[in-house]
Amino acid sequence: MTDVAEMTAAPEYFFAGRGDGLGGRFFNLLWSWRFARLFGAKTVIFWPGTPGNMTDYFGHDFRACQIFDLYLLERAFPELQIRIVDGKPPTEHDLDRLDQRPKWKKKALKGWLRDDVFGGRDAILYTSYKPLIFAGEKMDVCESELHELFKQLPLSKTVTERVEAAKAQLDLQNIVGMHYRRGDIVGRLGEFGRASIERNEISPHLLSWVTFYIRKCAPAVTYVDQLNRAHGPDSRVLLFSDDSDAISDFKRYLSADRIITLASYLKGLTPIQVAMVEMLCMASTKTILSTNSGFSMIASLVGKKPIELVKFQATPEAYFEDFGRVSGFNTLPVDNELLADVVDMIITSPMYLGVAEELGWDLSSEQLARFITMGSHKPAALSALP
């Protein structure tokens, strides 16, 4: 394997950046920064504003200057060799897009020889959040390096003060951090659900978001089952969620004294500052319970805390009651023709068939329609799993 020191041409700059949520952006930043350091290159991270222009969800101030002290970062540039820029990356015509090369699709960058990746190129743009791991490297060692790199980033005073206040007043190290995944997935699912109801026809994007929902989201009862099994019936949780109904969802299964939120520490913050404070507080809890979200995964890496993935163990009643609520289809009569089309779309989708087989669900179309329209009128019981 060619060593970095033996390379005849080292690039001066490595450009990177992503336009999605906080988790993906930080993975992109940290993997890119680590990668560039291997070559002695300078890193430029572009921060392109509000993801997907979804200002209703992410707000207008989704800027790097809201969470980083960019002045201190600029002063530290000679040592750290990284800049973060509010704005989009330069045109891709002048850059080699590393994560769009055909070989990347096959190898996902794992096990590459270093000179195969960079070679003698002057500049490369990296927009993925996938790990940049090379031949002979181990993931746990690389992640420890990312952890140390994150600690060198100067954060804004506003963010650090709120985090320190929460850590001083809450017993975070003895609390389970729980990320109740909703956010952009549920927001888009609700958007396409409303569009379908208004037009009385299924939105062409609905199936992809139903699939995304089934893969990434789970009803509150599933989290509670796993929490009680793994940590006991008296365990307390610090609840993180983008869903305004999250607290009421969990109060159906947990006593109020077991649920802790950061609400009092988030007043007056912009949406991206809220997300940053929450991520850092989640990183300070004893363990993290979530579905496979980038937000919880970056908190796990930053805090070197274990992440416990929520498994799909809920009853179909609980699962599709939750689906009906977030999509808005629970407002339809059970014999509605549009609802019948939605049920048919779900019940024949590969993602649903896989989950149904895994969990032993055997639902008729009529049962699924009843569960979706059940709404909040009939709370689902905790599952009786061992």
The pLDDT tens digits for 113-145 are 455 555 555 667 888 888 888 778 899 999 999
Low-confidence ranges of the chain (pLDDT < 70): 1-11, 52-59, 90-123, 183-184, 375-386
Query: Which amino acid makes up residue 11?
Result: P
Same domain, residue pair 165 and 230: yes
Task: Enter the pTM of the model.
Answer: 0.82
Domain that holds residue 286: 159-182+217-309
- Asked if residue 347 is part of any domain, the answer here is no
pLDDT of the residue at 284: 97
The residue type at 258: R
**What is the count of structural domains for the chain?**
2
Asked whether residue 201 is assigned to any structural domain, the reply reads: no
Query: 167 and 93 share a domain?
Result: no
pLDDT at 376: 39
Domain-located, residue 318: no
First to last CA, the chain: 50
| pLDDT value of position 106 | 47
- Establish if 88 belongs to a structural domain: yes
Q: What is the pLDDT of residues 321-346, one digit of tens each?
A: 989 988 999 999 999 999 999 999 99
Task: Note whether 19 and 51 are within 8 A (CB).
Answer: yes
- Give the pLDDT confidence score for residue 313 in this predicted structure: 78
- pLDDT value of residue 130: 85
Cα diameter, the chain: 70
Amino acid at 138: K
Do the domain assignments include residue 98? yes
Measure the CA angle with vertex 289, ends 172 and 381; round to 5°. Answer: 115
What's the confidence (pLDDT) of residue 292? 80
Question: Residue 19 has what pLDDT?
Answer: 84
Separation of alpha carbons 28 and 155, rounded Å: 17
